Amino acid sequence: MTYTPFQPFRWRLAHGRSLELGPRGVLMAIINVTPDSFSDGGRFTDADAAVAAALRAVEEGAEILDIGGESTRPDAKPVSAEEERARVMPVIAALAGETEAIISIDTYRADTARLAVEAGAHTVNDVHGLQREPAIASVAAETGAGLCIMHTGRGREKLGDVIEDQFHFLDRSLEIAAKAGVRREQIVLDPGFGFAKDTDENLELIGRFEELHRFALPLLVGTSRKRFVGAVTGREAQARDVGTAATTALLRAQGAAIFRVHDVAINRDALAMADAMLTAKNSRRDMKP
């Protein structure tokens, strides 16, 4: 059977939760509990402020809250596992008691992932695609947590073709997941916009996005306020939300399932337009004799 990205896919998560992906776009709000993230560093270093921001994002339309305690910008200083956990655990514990939204822990550390799921997180978002700490796959297998596996070009030599490199890297990640016992219905993939990709590579990845459906898995995209959006629009990081919303609509039309964003409201509207267009297109197709 041919994979169709707009058909329902039941994403299996920890604590008996699940989320339907496919027929409509889903928003994941970025909640960085860090002092140095590239566009919102220092806004939510206090746990109470981070929780309040997350709850506002839910009111604006976010269904997933992605909680991160270490910046992933290229020149960011690494933090210790202890510092990361001190930042994110109070936020996750508080949100688990205050909202029905899906909680995601943004980490590559297996121990942090395990503790976060125990505290109430439903899914793990690994920007190293299981290839820095492969044990994180075992955490997902043992807890039933959802698993977002991201492509990155950092720290290695990439292939010349952007799509070939996606398969080269993510096929290895999927092997790690399978060997650990992670079920395919727990997995979504992220092509890693901005992670060791220049403007031309990011734009080509958008233009050829539909080729990634050969993975036959839902796709999460994180273009929000990325440098390539600034290169195209001429905007500084905090003024890139309109450009981000344009990529959201373009990528939804090509079958992206989840959109990781800073500004939930503007991307909610972009998704509403894209999904309305897709519904109209499908209705016309169904009416043909």
Instruction: Give me the active site residues, please.
Output: 226, 260
**Tell me, what amino acid is at 148?**
C
Measure the CA–CA gap between 14 and 268, rounded to whole angstroms: 26
Question: Using an 8 Å Cβ cutoff, are 241 and 255 in contact?
Answer: no
- CA atoms lying within 13 Å on the CB side of residue 144: 8
Burial 210-244 (b: 16+ CB within 10 A, else e): eebbebebbbbbbbbbbbbbbeeeebebeebbebb
* Residue 178 to residues 60, 64, 97, 137, 141, Cα–Cα distance (Å): 36, 25, 32, 9, 9
Question: Using an 8 Å Cβ cutoff, are 89 and 109 in contact?
Answer: no
User: Residue holding tokens 């920007």?
Assistant: 127
